[in-house]
């Protein structure tokens, strides 16, 4: 498996923070990281340039490469785009001992599942073949126990969070009407978007690792000079998720008018990370 320095670089690339090693307590939990990654995308949808996060203060959302200017209907992102870090990146201290859980690491690099089928929460689980999974320490971190992380009917389905997954109308439209009948189909979609329970934008993820890979974050490691792709592997609350017209995209709505605290709670109740996926580009 890759080393700790590479893990920290991957977390830096995902969060936009300067993640460093500490022997003390970690400033953030793995849940905080998925909150930050998801909310960064959501705030950019809103046209904002900063995100306030407890214990960290103000985080800049302004990416200086060109990747964030594209939506998910754009061409796949160039893996060779230059990597540049904001000079004002917030420093975050992480202790690997309380952030990672190496007992659950899994190397999918040379695994090919072929026609094999896997389930999580009675829904298909597309395993991240070709990737290294660095396990995050999530056992005994949630008050409702570990059923969400299991393989049974009560488990939450698996989703992947890439980068720049900020959506478009074509993604948000849910399964209503016949796509061939465009006027009524679009009208049904627009009506759904404007309904009371779904008014607002949200946080996107995908059950397909190949979709996440097309839009994942890449970074060049100072540890070994190689370029890597990085994706978060999560479980998503099936009661909070909306399946979009693009069947490989899931959305968690954040209603208009939600406070900053409410937005964090929505993400925390909906998406829980358990793996940091790395793959050499």
Residue 236's pLDDT is 97
pLDDT above 50 (res 74): no
Specify which residues 205 forms β-bridges with: 250
243: which residues sit within 8 A by CB, 6+ positions away? 174, 175, 250
What's the mean pLDDT in 13-26?
Answer: 92
3-class DSSP state for residue 240? coil
CA distance 229 to 218: 4
pLDDT above 70 (res 85): no
Parse the chain into domains and list their residue ranges.
4-280
Residue 2's pLDDT is 64
Q: Measured at the alpha carbon of residue 27, what is the angle toward residues 21 and 28, in degrees to the nearest 5?
A: 105
Is pLDDT larger for residue 262 or for residue 59? 262
CA distance 200 to 202: 7
High-pLDDT (> 90) share of the chain, %: 52
Q: Which of 107-116, 139-148, 170-179, 199-208 has the lowest mean pLDDT?
A: 170-179
Tens digit of pLDDT for each residue in 100-155?
A: 999 999 999 999 999 999 999 999 999 999 999 999 999 999 999 999 999 989 99
Strands 123-124 and 119-120: antiparallel
High-pLDDT (> 70) share of the chain, %: 76
Q: Are 237 and 156 in contact (CB under 8 A)?
A: yes
- pTM for the model: 0.81
């Amino acid at each position: 498996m890759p080393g700790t320095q590479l893990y920290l670089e991957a977390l830096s690339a995902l969060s936009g923070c300067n993640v460093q090693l500490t022997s003390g307590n970690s400033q953030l939990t793995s849940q905080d990281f998925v909150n930050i990654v998801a909310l960064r995308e959501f705030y950019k949808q809103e046209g904002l340039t900063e995100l306030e996060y407890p214990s960290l203060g103000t985080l800049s959302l302004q990416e200086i490469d060109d990747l964030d200017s594209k939506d998910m209907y754009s061409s796949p992102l160039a893996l060779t785009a230059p990597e540049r870090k904001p000079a004002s990146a917030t420093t975050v201290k992480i202790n690997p001992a309380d952030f990672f859980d190496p007992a659950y690491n899994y190397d999918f690099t040379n695994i090919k599942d072929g026609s094999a089928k896997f389930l999580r929460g009675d829904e298909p689980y597309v395993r991240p073949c070709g990737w290294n999974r660095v396990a995050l320490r999530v056992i005994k971190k949630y008050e409702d126990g570990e059923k969400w992380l299991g393989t049974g009917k009560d488990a939450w389905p698996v989703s992947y969070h890439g980068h720049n997954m900020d959506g478009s109308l074509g993604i948000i439209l849910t399964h209503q009407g016949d796509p061939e009948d465009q006027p009524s189909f679009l009208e049904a979609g627009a009506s759904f978007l404007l309904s009371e329970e779904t008014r607002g934008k949200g946080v996107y993820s995908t059950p397909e690792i190949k979709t996440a890979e097309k839009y994942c974050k890449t970074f060049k490691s100072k540890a070994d000079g190689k370029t890597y792709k990085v994706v978060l592997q999560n479980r998503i609350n099936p009661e909070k998720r909306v399946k979009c017209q693009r069947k490989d995209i899931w959305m968690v709505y954040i209603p208009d008018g939600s406070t900053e605290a409410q937005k964090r709670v929505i993400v925390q109740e909906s998406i829980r990370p358990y793996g940091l996926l790395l793959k050499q580009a």
